Amino acid sequence: MKRIFSIMLVAGLAWAAATATTSYDLKQMRAWEHVEATGDLNGDGVDDLVIIATPDYKAHTRVRDDGYVYNFNRPLLAIYFGEKGGKHTLWRGYDHVVPARVDESLSITPSLQITRRGALVISLEYFASAGGWDAPTYSYTFRYQDGDFMLIGKDEEHLIRNTGETVKDSYNFVTRKKQHTSGNVSKKAKARSRWSSLPKEPLKALGSFTLGE
């Protein structure tokens, strides 16, 4: 147990050291493997930019015999507010919001969207090439209000690939309602839904928790 804890501690310190070297420079972020989205997040009529980039620090990569590189670096999330003239200025960067890949057989693919109404949607698609049939996708919807991005909605979808079963839970943290829907993509039976109420709780801010957990 002590050895496992030591390995985790060393890995955590290495991650901290690695991410400490970045200033969320947009040029550097775009040089890494990344996804990005543009749209007006703060309602000032100017497009903003959100990017998720995964560094390629060698300390957290592993090369397979055939040359394929597994990247276990922790992805960085950054939000840049736009200014007239096309310039983007870093508003805030996060090094612990998007989970890192920790297993060679389990990949995590992030995606971003900024809706027409200015909501930020961050999605994570999981795929296991071994060890399980479940292929979940998590989507989180944040809205800029009171000077921060607050979680107003969440969708959690599961597809059991060997049976075709599907389950989707949709949470609206503003109306405090949850919709649970179950079905099967390989059968013609109609999907079934039921609604329930959520407890009244303060909205969570982006950065206060790790997505997918």
pLDDT of residue 147: 96
What 3 state SS string does 16-46 have?
A: HHHHHCCCCCHHHHHHCEEEEEEECCCCCCC
Mean pLDDT (whole number) for 111-139: 90
* Nearest-angstrom CA–CA distance, 22 and 163: 44
Select the more confidently predicted residue: 174 or 3.
174
**52-99 pLDDT per residue, tens:** 999 999 999 999 999 999 999 999 999 999 999 889 999 999 999 999
Average model confidence (pLDDT) for the chain? 87
Query: What confidence category does residue 127 fall into, taking pLDDT thresholds of 50, 70 and 90?
Result: confident
CA pair distance 52, 37, nearest whole angstrom: 9
Nearest CA to 149 out of 21, 48, 26 is that of: 48
pLDDT at 122: 98
For residues 179 and 193, give the distance between their C-alpha atoms in angstroms, rounded to a whole number: 7
Query: How many Å apart are CA 211 and CA 189, to the nearest integer?
Result: 32
Per-residue confidence (pLDDT) for residue 166, from 0 to 100: 86
Every domain of the chain and the residues it spans: 22-197
Torsion of CA 161, 166, 172, 173, to 10 degrees: -60
Res 15 pLDDT > 70: no
Residue 6's pLDDT is 37
pLDDT reading at 5 higher than 90: no
Question: pLDDT band at residue 28, thresholds of 50, 70 and 90?
Answer: very high
Predicted local distance difference test score (pLDDT) of residue 21? 46
**Alpha-carbon gap, residue 149 to 112, rounded angstroms:** 15
What pLDDT, on the 0 to 100 scale, is given for residue 131? 61
Question: Cβ neighbours of residue 3 under 8 Å, at least 6 residues apart?
Answer: none
- Token pair recorded at residue 118: 């200015």
Instruction: Give the pLDDT score at 20.
Output: 46
Q: Is the pLDDT of residue 44 over 90?
A: yes
Higher pLDDT, 79 or 159: 79
In percent, the amount of the chain with pLDDT more than 90 equals 71
Tens digit of each residue's pLDDT (9 = 90 or more) over 179-213:
999 878 777 767 788 999 999 999 999 999 999 97
For residues 114 and 48, the answer to whether their CB atoms sit within 8 Å is yes
Q: Is the pLDDT of residue 8 over 70?
A: no
